[in-house]
Structure 1
Amino acid sequence: VGKYHVSYQQVYGWYQKYRKSGNDPQSLRYRRGKAKPKEAWTEVDRLKAENRLLKTQLLRKEMEDTYSKKVMEIRNREANDSSNNKLSKN
Structure 2
Amino acid sequence: WAVGKYHVSYQQVYGWYQKYRKSGNDPQSLRDRRGKAKPKEAWTEVDRLKAENRLLKAQLLRKEMEDAYSKKVMEIRNREANDSSNNKLSKN
* TM-score normalised over the length of structure 2: 0.77
Identity %: 97
Q: CA 1:75–1:88 in 2, change beyond 3 Å: closer, same or farther?
A: farther
User: Displacement, 1:20?
Assistant: 5.6
Unmatched tracts of structure 2, length 5 or more: none
Alignment length (residue pairs): 90
Q: How far apart, CA to CA, are the structure 2 residues paired with 1:88 and 1:27?
A: 83
RMSD over equivalenced CA pairs, Å: 2.4
Give how far 1:22 is off.
6.3
**How much does 1:3 deviate?**
4.2
Q: Which whole-Å deviations, capped at 9, do the CAs of 1:27-80 have from their partners, x for residues lacking one?
A: 432111221111111101110110111011001100000000000000010011
Q: Does 1:33 align with 2:19?
A: no
Summarize the alignment of residues 5-84 of structure 1 with structure 2, pairs less than 5 Å apart: 5-18=7-20, 25-84=27-86
Segment drifting more, 36-45 vs 78-87: 78-87
Q: TM-score, normalised by structure 1?
A: 0.78
Query: 5+ unaligned residues in a row in structure 1: which ranges?
Result: none
